[in-house]
Protein backbone atom coordinates (compact mmCIF):
# COMPACT_ATOMS: atom_id res chain seq x y z
CA UNK A 1 0.00 0.00 0.00
CA UNK A 2 1.24 3.51 -0.83
CA UNK A 3 1.91 5.29 2.48
CA UNK A 4 2.49 8.72 0.86
CA UNK A 5 0.65 11.53 2.63
CA UNK A 6 0.36 14.92 0.85
CA UNK A 7 1.53 18.21 2.32
CA UNK A 8 -1.98 19.49 3.15
CA UNK A 9 -3.03 16.30 4.85
CA UNK A 10 0.24 16.26 6.82
CA UNK A 11 -0.27 19.88 7.89
CA UNK A 12 -3.89 19.24 8.88
CA UNK A 13 -2.80 16.22 10.94
CA UNK A 14 -0.10 18.30 12.63
CA UNK A 15 -2.49 21.15 13.42
CA UNK A 16 -4.98 18.72 14.85
CA UNK A 17 -2.30 17.29 17.13
CA UNK A 18 -1.29 20.78 18.31
CA UNK A 19 -4.92 21.53 19.04
CA UNK A 20 -5.11 18.36 21.10
CA UNK A 21 -2.22 19.62 23.22
CA UNK A 22 0.70 17.68 21.78
CA UNK A 23 3.75 19.56 22.98
CA UNK A 24 6.60 17.46 21.71
CA UNK A 25 7.38 14.76 19.21
CA UNK A 26 8.14 11.31 20.49
CA UNK A 27 10.28 8.85 18.62
CA UNK A 28 9.62 5.15 18.25
CA UNK A 29 12.59 4.34 20.45
CA UNK A 30 12.10 4.88 24.22
CA UNK A 31 14.17 7.62 25.85
CA UNK A 32 15.56 7.04 29.33
CA UNK A 33 15.14 10.51 30.80
CA UNK A 34 17.04 9.53 33.94
CA UNK A 35 20.14 9.24 31.77
CA UNK A 36 19.70 12.61 30.12
CA UNK A 37 22.05 15.42 31.07
CA UNK A 38 20.58 18.65 32.41
CA UNK A 39 21.04 21.57 29.98
CA UNK A 40 23.89 23.95 30.86
CA UNK A 41 22.71 26.93 32.99
CA UNK A 42 22.01 30.14 31.09
CA UNK A 43 23.23 32.41 33.88
CA UNK A 44 25.44 35.34 32.99
CA UNK A 45 24.10 35.94 29.49
CA UNK A 46 23.12 39.53 28.80
CA UNK A 47 19.63 40.13 27.37
CA UNK A 48 19.69 40.04 23.60
CA UNK A 49 23.03 38.27 23.50
CA UNK A 50 22.78 34.70 22.42
CA UNK A 51 24.39 32.28 24.81
CA UNK A 52 27.50 30.51 23.60
CA UNK A 53 26.69 26.97 22.63
CA UNK A 54 28.05 24.67 25.28
CA UNK A 55 29.32 21.25 24.28
CA UNK A 56 26.76 18.65 25.38
CA UNK A 57 28.35 16.56 28.08
CA UNK A 58 27.83 12.86 27.58
CA UNK A 59 26.42 11.14 30.65
CA UNK A 60 29.10 8.97 32.25
CA UNK A 61 28.66 5.44 30.95
CA UNK A 62 27.26 3.15 33.59
CA UNK A 63 28.16 -0.51 33.59
CA UNK A 64 25.49 -2.13 35.80
CA UNK A 65 27.38 -5.43 35.99
CA UNK A 66 30.67 -3.79 36.99
CA UNK A 67 28.84 -1.74 39.62
CA UNK A 68 27.13 -4.86 40.95
CA UNK A 69 30.49 -6.63 41.13
CA UNK A 70 32.04 -3.77 43.10
CA UNK A 71 29.07 -3.50 45.48
CA UNK A 72 28.94 -7.25 46.04
CA UNK A 73 32.71 -7.48 46.60
CA UNK A 74 32.52 -4.73 49.22
CA UNK A 75 29.94 -6.64 51.30
CA UNK A 76 31.68 -8.52 54.07
CA UNK A 77 28.67 -10.27 55.58
CA UNK A 78 25.13 -11.27 54.63
CA UNK A 79 23.42 -8.25 56.12
CA UNK A 80 25.91 -5.98 54.32
CA UNK A 81 25.13 -7.82 51.11
CA UNK A 82 21.39 -7.41 51.61
CA UNK A 83 21.90 -3.68 52.20
CA UNK A 84 24.09 -3.43 49.08
CA UNK A 85 21.38 -5.09 47.00
CA UNK A 86 18.71 -2.78 48.39
CA UNK A 87 20.88 0.22 47.48
CA UNK A 88 21.70 -1.04 43.98
CA UNK A 89 19.95 1.32 41.56
CA UNK A 90 20.14 -0.41 38.17
CA UNK A 91 17.58 -3.20 38.34
CA UNK A 92 14.18 -1.90 37.24
CA UNK A 93 12.42 -4.82 38.94
CA UNK A 94 12.99 -3.16 42.29
CA UNK A 95 10.60 -0.37 41.37
CA UNK A 96 7.66 -2.73 40.93
CA UNK A 97 8.39 -5.01 43.89
CA UNK A 98 7.04 -4.70 47.42
CA UNK A 99 9.95 -6.42 49.11
CA UNK A 100 13.51 -7.44 48.50
CA UNK A 101 13.42 -11.21 48.98
CA UNK A 102 16.85 -12.10 50.29
CA UNK A 103 16.84 -15.47 52.03
CA UNK A 104 15.24 -17.91 54.39
CA UNK A 105 16.62 -20.75 56.46
CA UNK A 106 19.93 -21.00 58.21
CA UNK A 107 23.02 -19.17 56.89
CA UNK A 108 25.97 -21.52 56.99
CA UNK A 109 23.78 -24.60 56.38
CA UNK A 110 25.44 -27.41 54.42
CA UNK A 111 22.82 -27.13 51.66
CA UNK A 112 21.98 -23.91 49.84
CA UNK A 113 19.01 -23.88 47.48
CA UNK A 114 18.86 -21.38 44.63
CA UNK A 115 15.43 -20.75 43.14
CA UNK A 116 14.47 -18.40 40.35
CA UNK A 117 12.63 -15.30 41.51
CA UNK A 118 9.97 -14.35 44.02
CA UNK A 119 6.34 -14.79 43.05
CA UNK A 120 3.34 -12.92 44.44
CA UNK A 121 3.40 -14.55 47.91
CA UNK A 122 7.15 -14.17 48.29
CA UNK A 123 6.95 -10.52 47.22
CA UNK A 124 4.23 -9.89 49.80
CA UNK A 125 5.96 -11.69 52.67
CA UNK A 126 9.58 -10.97 51.80
CA UNK A 127 10.83 -14.58 51.99
CA UNK A 128 11.63 -17.07 49.24
CA UNK A 129 9.45 -20.12 48.55
CA UNK A 130 6.48 -19.39 50.77
CA UNK A 131 3.73 -20.10 48.20
CA UNK A 132 2.52 -23.47 46.87
CA UNK A 133 5.87 -24.29 45.27
CA UNK A 134 7.54 -23.50 48.59
CA UNK A 135 5.23 -25.84 50.46
CA UNK A 136 6.14 -28.62 48.07
CA UNK A 137 9.83 -27.75 48.47
CA UNK A 138 9.46 -28.10 52.25
CA UNK A 139 7.89 -31.56 51.81
CA UNK A 140 10.67 -32.62 49.45
CA UNK A 141 13.32 -31.51 51.92
CA UNK A 142 11.56 -33.15 54.86
CA UNK A 143 11.59 -36.43 52.92
CA UNK A 144 15.38 -36.49 53.28
CA UNK A 145 15.33 -35.04 56.79
CA UNK A 146 16.22 -31.47 55.83
CA UNK A 147 14.37 -28.22 56.40
CA UNK A 148 14.74 -24.47 56.55
CA UNK A 149 13.58 -24.53 60.19
CA UNK A 150 16.00 -27.28 61.20
CA UNK A 151 19.38 -26.89 62.88
CA UNK A 152 22.87 -28.18 62.27
CA UNK A 153 23.28 -30.92 59.67
CA UNK A 154 19.56 -30.83 58.82
CA UNK A 155 19.42 -27.11 58.06
CA UNK A 156 19.08 -25.57 54.60
CA UNK A 157 19.52 -22.02 53.37
CA UNK A 158 17.40 -20.65 50.52
CA UNK A 159 17.73 -17.78 48.07
CA UNK A 160 16.81 -16.90 44.49
CA UNK A 161 18.61 -15.68 41.36
CA UNK A 162 16.58 -12.46 41.54
CA UNK A 163 15.55 -10.76 44.77
CA UNK A 164 12.63 -8.85 43.23
CA UNK A 165 9.46 -10.21 41.67
CA UNK A 166 9.31 -9.78 37.88
CA UNK A 167 5.99 -8.28 36.75
CA UNK A 168 3.32 -10.92 36.08
CA UNK A 169 5.94 -13.53 37.07
CA UNK A 170 7.56 -13.25 33.65
CA UNK A 171 10.94 -14.87 33.09
CA UNK A 172 13.90 -12.76 34.17
CA UNK A 173 15.58 -10.92 31.30
CA UNK A 174 19.23 -11.69 30.48
CA UNK A 175 20.39 -8.21 31.58
CA UNK A 176 18.54 -8.54 34.90
CA UNK A 177 20.20 -11.90 35.51
CA UNK A 178 23.62 -10.58 34.50
CA UNK A 179 23.45 -7.60 36.86
CA UNK A 180 22.21 -9.64 39.83
CA UNK A 181 24.63 -12.55 39.32
CA UNK A 182 27.55 -10.90 41.17
CA UNK A 183 25.27 -10.54 44.21
CA UNK A 184 24.20 -14.17 43.99
CA UNK A 185 27.80 -15.36 43.72
CA UNK A 186 28.78 -13.24 46.71
CA UNK A 187 25.73 -14.57 48.57
CA UNK A 188 26.97 -18.11 48.01
CA UNK A 189 30.51 -17.20 49.04
CA UNK A 190 29.31 -15.59 52.29
CA UNK A 191 26.79 -18.33 53.15
CA UNK A 192 29.52 -20.98 52.62
CA UNK A 193 27.36 -24.03 51.81
CA UNK A 194 28.90 -27.43 51.10
CA UNK A 195 26.45 -28.19 48.31
CA UNK A 196 24.26 -26.10 46.02
CA UNK A 197 20.87 -27.20 44.72
CA UNK A 198 19.82 -25.16 41.67
CA UNK A 199 16.12 -25.43 40.92
CA UNK A 200 14.83 -24.94 37.40
CA UNK A 201 16.14 -23.53 34.14
CA UNK A 202 16.63 -19.93 35.22
CA UNK A 203 18.90 -20.94 38.11
CA UNK A 204 20.86 -23.33 35.88
CA UNK A 205 21.23 -20.60 33.30
CA UNK A 206 22.45 -18.11 35.90
CA UNK A 207 24.94 -20.32 37.72
CA UNK A 208 25.94 -22.98 35.21
CA UNK A 209 25.37 -21.01 32.01
CA UNK A 210 23.25 -23.92 30.73
CA UNK A 211 19.57 -24.54 30.08
CA UNK A 212 17.66 -27.76 29.58
CA UNK A 213 16.71 -28.90 33.07
CA UNK A 214 15.35 -32.24 31.84
CA UNK A 215 18.83 -33.10 30.60
CA UNK A 216 20.77 -31.37 33.39
CA UNK A 217 18.81 -32.60 36.43
CA UNK A 218 20.49 -35.12 38.65
CA UNK A 219 23.93 -34.58 37.07
CA UNK A 220 26.42 -33.13 39.52
CA UNK A 221 28.19 -30.06 38.24
CA UNK A 222 30.44 -27.42 39.80
CA UNK A 223 30.33 -23.66 40.41
CA UNK A 224 33.41 -21.94 41.79
CA UNK A 225 34.61 -25.23 43.25
CA UNK A 226 31.26 -26.10 44.87
CA UNK A 227 29.32 -29.23 43.95
CA UNK A 228 25.97 -28.38 42.37
CA UNK A 229 22.98 -30.55 41.66
CA UNK A 230 20.33 -29.22 39.25
CA UNK A 231 16.78 -30.30 40.06
CA UNK A 232 13.31 -29.73 38.71
CA UNK A 233 11.71 -26.63 40.12
CA UNK A 234 8.86 -27.44 42.57
CA UNK A 235 6.50 -25.24 40.49
CA UNK A 236 7.26 -27.52 37.52
CA UNK A 237 6.52 -30.54 39.69
CA UNK A 238 3.15 -29.05 40.64
CA UNK A 239 2.31 -28.81 36.95
CA UNK A 240 3.89 -32.16 36.06
CA UNK A 241 3.43 -34.53 38.99
CA UNK A 242 4.79 -37.45 36.97
CA UNK A 243 8.24 -35.81 37.14
CA UNK A 244 8.25 -36.29 40.92
CA UNK A 245 9.93 -39.67 40.58
CA UNK A 246 12.97 -38.01 38.97
CA UNK A 247 12.94 -35.37 41.69
CA UNK A 248 12.86 -38.13 44.29
CA UNK A 249 15.87 -39.79 42.68
CA UNK A 250 17.74 -36.47 42.81
CA UNK A 251 16.84 -35.97 46.47
CA UNK A 252 18.19 -39.43 47.28
CA UNK A 253 21.36 -38.60 45.40
CA UNK A 254 21.72 -35.38 47.41
CA UNK A 255 21.08 -37.27 50.63
CA UNK A 256 23.72 -39.83 49.73
CA UNK A 257 26.30 -37.13 49.18
CA UNK A 258 25.43 -35.45 52.47
CA UNK A 259 25.51 -38.64 54.52
CA UNK A 260 28.53 -40.22 52.82
CA UNK A 261 31.36 -40.63 55.28
CA UNK A 262 34.76 -40.29 53.67
Closer to ligand URA by CB, 154 or 201: give it: 201
Q: Cα dist. 23→16, 26, 246 in Å?
A: 12, 10, 60
Task: Tell me if 176 sits within 8 A of 162, measured CB to CB.
Answer: yes
By CB neighbour count within 10 A (0-12 exposed, 13-18 middle, 19+ buried), where does 188 fall? buried
Closer to ligand URA by CB, 40 or 174: give it: 174
Closer to ligand URA by CB, 131 or 218: give it: 131
By CB neighbour count within 10 A (0-12 exposed, 13-18 middle, 19+ buried), where does 68 fall? buried
CB of 177 to ligand URA, least distance (A): 13
Tell me the residue number closest to ligand URA, measured at CB.
Answer: 115
CB of 176 to ligand URA, least distance (A): 14
Closer to ligand URA by CB, 129 or 232: give it: 129
CB of 171 to ligand URA, least distance (A): 11
- Of the candidates 154, 179, 13, 183, the one whose C-alpha atom is nearest the C-alpha of residue 81 is 183
Contacting positions for ligand URA (CB under 6 A): 115-119, 122, 128-129, 131, 133-134, 160, 235
CB of 112 to ligand URA, least distance (A): 13
Closer to ligand URA by CB, 75 or 136: give it: 136
CB of 9 to ligand URA, least distance (A): 54
Amino acid sequence: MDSYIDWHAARAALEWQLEMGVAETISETPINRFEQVAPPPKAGVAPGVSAPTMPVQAAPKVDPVAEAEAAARAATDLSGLQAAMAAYPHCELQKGARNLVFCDGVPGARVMIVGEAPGRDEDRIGKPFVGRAGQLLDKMLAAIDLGRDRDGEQAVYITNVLPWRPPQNRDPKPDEMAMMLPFLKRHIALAKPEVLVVMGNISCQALLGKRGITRLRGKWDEVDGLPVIPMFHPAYLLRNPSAKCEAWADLLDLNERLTKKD
